[in-house]
Amino acid sequence: MLNQKIEKRSTSEINRYGLFAKEIIFKNELVWSPTENEIKKISVNEFEKLPVDDKQIWIDHCYQIDDYFQMDTDDTRLMNHSCDPNTMDYPTDDPTMIVAKRDIQKNEEVTWNYLPFMNPYQAFPCNCGSENCVEIVKKNAVFKSDR
Ligand SMILES: [Zn+2]
C-alpha cells in the first residue's frame, strides 16, 4: 500500500505521470509496502507463454524478483525511476518495503531505483537529470559513479 501522503500527478518531468508528496515525508518513513491484492505476480515461464500484447503490458510495468515478474495494480506502478532516487528498498535490493531515503519535500516527485529489478526485455532512456544518470535504464546498467 502506498503512503497516503502520496498522490498521482500528470506534472512529472521524468515521464508525464508520476507520484508526488502532498506533504513532507520523513527520512525512513514507509513509502510503500506490498499488499497482496495490489500486486500481480507471474513466473518467468508463465510470462514467456503470454500473447505479445499481454507481454508488452508486463514489460512496461513489471519488476523482477528472483524468477517472478511482479506488477503493481494501484498507482504505485507510476513511481518513476531516478538514478538519484529519494526512496530505497528495505531490506536493500528486496522491496519488501520501500522507505524514504531522505526527507521528501512537499510537491517533490517520489522516485525509486529500478535497476536491481530490471529484466532483459526492458530498456528505456532515462530523464532523471541526476549527475549519476545511467542514460539508458536496462538490466545491468551501471551508475556513472560506479563506472
Ligand atoms: Zn537517470
Q: What is the pTM of this model?
A: 0.92
Edge-to-edge strand ranges of the sheet holding 63-65: 39-43, 68-72, 63-65
Residue 123 forms beta bridges with which residues?
Answer: 138
d(CA 131, ligand 1 centre) in Å:
8
Q: Please determine, looking at this structure, whether the domain spanning 6-146 carries the CATH number 1.10.287.70.
A: no
Cβ-based burial of 69 (10 A; exposed 0-12, middle 13-18, buried ≥19): buried
List pLDDT tens digits, range 10-48.
Answer: 999 998 899 999 999 999 999 999 888 889 999 999 999
d(CA 37, ligand 1 centre) in Å:
31
33 with 97: CB under 8 angstroms? yes
The pLDDT of residue 2 is: 95
The pLDDT of residue 91 is: 87
**87, three cell numbers:** 526512496
The pLDDT of residue 56 is: 93
**50, three cell numbers:** 503470454
